[in-house]
Structure formats: structure tokens, C-alpha cells
Amino acid sequence: MEVRVLRNLFDLSGKIAIITGGSRGLGLQIAEALGEYGAITLLLARKQTELDDAVAHLGALGVKAHGYPADLSKPETIGRVFREIVKDHGRIDILVNNAGTSWGSPAEEQTPEQWAKVMDLNLTAVFFCSQEAMNLAMIPQKQGVILNMASVEGLLGHHPSQAGMVGYSAAKGGVINMTRALAAEWAKYGVRVNALAPGYFPSKLTNAVIEQYEQFFLHNTPLGKLGGPEDLKGPALLLCSEAGGHITGQTLVIDGGTTII
């Protein structure tokens, strides 16, 4: 029997990896990890200046990266940018659905516009980005990996001492179950679909909440710390590489133990 060197299971050399919301925060952290192991990282985000900065940052680390400006809350934009990517690179091996937004308000005050903003980017765009990647590349290739960014907010009721986030929680719960459904349906094409569910990590999306509730989060996290700049890299690499080749439909929680107590 052939014995494979373990590190080769993590090798992503030459793989084309799309990371939505990849210009900063958790998306950029994942891009660093996949790029370090050889993937060509394609970053999708709304602002060209942030994409340029992220591409330069990754380039300084020796990571091949390209930026594609796109507002993924608009379905017509999703089709256009994914067709452009396939035209430029010929394939899509990995899709990381990371782009997201939130809106804090009491549930009884949530407006249709606020609800739609969160759902359009956090749930609907995840599905249609996945669909485009499948139809344009992964079905013809008979292989691929999709990694969705969920959240512990999709697993728990939001604590009543904090500002309400019903739309965000509902969307992330939808991502978790959509991950299961797509994994079951698309396994026949050789495609794996998994999710990460982070706890609180400092980012532009969470900084205001962390500033207000940091001591609460630390008190309720067994490891006693927030997520750090390296904490998503290993889990993302596992699920995007052959090292996770027999894992599909799963949600891996990275929260320092918050959800176990």
C-alpha cells in the first residue's frame, strides 16, 4: 500500500480558491492559510482599494492573489464575476463563502429592509455563489470544495443582555442547514460542502460589539480568550484540502468552548 506523506494531504498547489469577503478580517485570514499551502487566491469584495491592499499584503507573503470587485448582495453580480473568474482561470477548486453583514436591533423593531440586507448577503448570496461555482466549474470537473462561514449565532439563541441580532442568527442557522443539504445533494459530483462556525473574533463586523461586551465573552469562554489571527487557518485548511477528504456536511465550531457550557 502506498504511504502518503501527511503534509501532502494539505497541499493546495495550483488550486483556484475564491474567498468572498476576502479583503479583510476572517476572509483574509483564510486566504493567507490557503495561499501559504499553494492555492491561487481570488478575493471578492465591494471596495477596490481594500482588494488592492489585500492582494499586496498576500503578495508580500508569497501568496498569488487577485482581486475581483463585486457586490454579492446583487444576484446579477454573482453570475458576472464567477463567469469572469472561470474565463480568467479555467476552473474553480475551492469556494469560501465568507462575505457577510449584520444588523443589531430588537426583533420587534426589525424592518423589511434590515432583514433583507442581512439575508441577501449572509444566506442568499451563499447559495447562489455555490450554485455558480457548481454549474460553471465543479460539476464539469467532478470535484470541488465549498466552505461556508456560519457562526455560533446560528447554533445558539442570542443572549438577551445584548442587542438583538435575529436576522443574523436566522441567516447563519440557515447556512448551517443549507451546508448539510448541499453536501448530501452534491456528493454525487465529488464535491464536499462544510462550514465553520466561529465565536467572537475581532473584525470590522464585530469590533463595536466586542468593545461593549468583551468581558462577558471572555467570562463565558472556557479558554478565556477571543479568536485570534491564526485560529481559523488550521480548520479552514483541513476542510479545503485532501486532509479533510472524508468530511462533508459538517459544521466545525471554533469558539474557545463557548458553546459547550
Average pLDDT over the chain, rounded to whole? 95
Weakest-pLDDT range from 56-60, 124-128, 147-151, 209-213: 209-213
Q: What is the pLDDT of residues 191-202, one digit of tens each?
A: 999 999 999 998
**What's the pLDDT score for residue 203?**
85
Domain boundaries, the chain: 6-252
Question: Per-residue pLDDT for 14 more than 90?
Answer: yes
Q: What are phi and psi of 95, to 5 degrees?
A: -125, 120
Q: How confident is residue 104, by pLDDT bands cut at 50, 70 and 90?
A: confident
Ordered DSSP codes for 93-146: -EEEE-------B-GGG--HHHHHHHHIIIIIHHHHHHHHHIIIIIHHHT-EEE
Reduced to 3 states, what is the DSSP secondary structure of residue 165? strand
Q: pLDDT per residue over 120-143, tens digit each? A: 999 999 999 999 999 999 999 999
Residue 19 has pLDDT above 90, yes or no: yes
Q: Comparing 204 with 240, which gets the higher pLDDT?
A: 240
Task: Find the range with the poorest average confidence among 123-137, 142-156, 197-211, 213-227.
Answer: 197-211
Please tell me which residue in 37, 68, 168, 213 is annotated as part of the active site: 168
pLDDT confidence of residue 206: 83
What's the pLDDT score for residue 4? Answer: 66
Fold of 6-252: Rossmann fold (3.40.50)
Helix/strand/coil percentages in the chain, nearest 5: 50, 15, 35
Q: For residue range 32-75, what is the model confidence (pLDDT) as tens digits? A: 999 999 999 999 999 999 999 999 999 999 999 999 999 999 99
Q: Cell 454573482, residue?
A: 78
In this predicted structure, the answer to whether residue 181 has a pLDDT above a threshold of 80 is yes
pLDDT at 1 over 80: no
Beta strands (DSSP E) in the chain are 16-20, 40-45, 65-69, 94-97, 144-149, 191-198, 251-254
Q: What percent of the chain has pLDDT over 70?
A: 98
Question: According to the model, what pLDDT value does residue 103 have?
Answer: 86
Position 235 scores a pLDDT of 98
pLDDT (mean) for 226-254: 98
Q: Is 37 known to be catalytic?
A: no
Residues 35, 208: Cα–Cα separation, whole Å: 30
pLDDT score of 5 more than 60: yes
Query: For the residues 87-95, what does the mean pLDDT come to?
Result: 98
